[in-house]
Amino acid sequence: MPVNEAVARRPRSADGSRLQGTDEATVVQYERCGAWVVGARGPYDMSTVTPLADALDTAAKEHPKVVLDASGITFADSALLNLLILTHQAADFRVAAPAQQLKRLLQLTAADTVLKIRETVDEAAAC
């Protein structure tokens, strides 16, 4: 199953428009030392994870090594955790520079024993 199908779609209001939070999650992508880097900024939960899921799914299909720059993630819950595990299963995947809240989530769930966690994007990309 593609990673983008494994997460819930952003909820919609009664008129069909997408609901937006005050803190918008954003995704940027670039190449670094032969790895494809997906940079995530903002909070990631069930209502905001879809663009990141789409980016990681595409990256996993098109690039031999994928790095998530997690330094800008301000909140993460089980939706992001699920996405990280699914991406790990689909690609040579590394998580770089996770912020403290994400580090704690990875430790509490023991996902840090499964995922390749690195201190910097350069280290994750093996520059």
At 81, which CATH number? 3.30.750.24
Tokens in use for 116? 């390749």
Tokens in use for 47? 């209502």
Residue 7 lies in a domain: no
Full pLDDT tens readout for the chain, 127 residues: 455 444 433 343 344 434 344 468 999 999 999 999 999 999 999 999 999 999 999 999 999 999 999 999 999 999 999 999 999 999 999 999 999 999 999 999 999 999 999 999 999 999 7
30-51 in b/e burial notation, b at 16+ Cβ within 10 A?
eebeebbbbbbbbbbbbbbbbb
Residue 14 lies in a domain: no
Residue 18 lies in a domain: no
Number of domains in the chain: 1
Which phi and psi angles does 47 have, rounded to 5°? -90, -10
Residue 60: which domain range?
A: 26-126
Residue 1 lies in a domain: no
For the entire predicted model, the pTM comes to 0.82
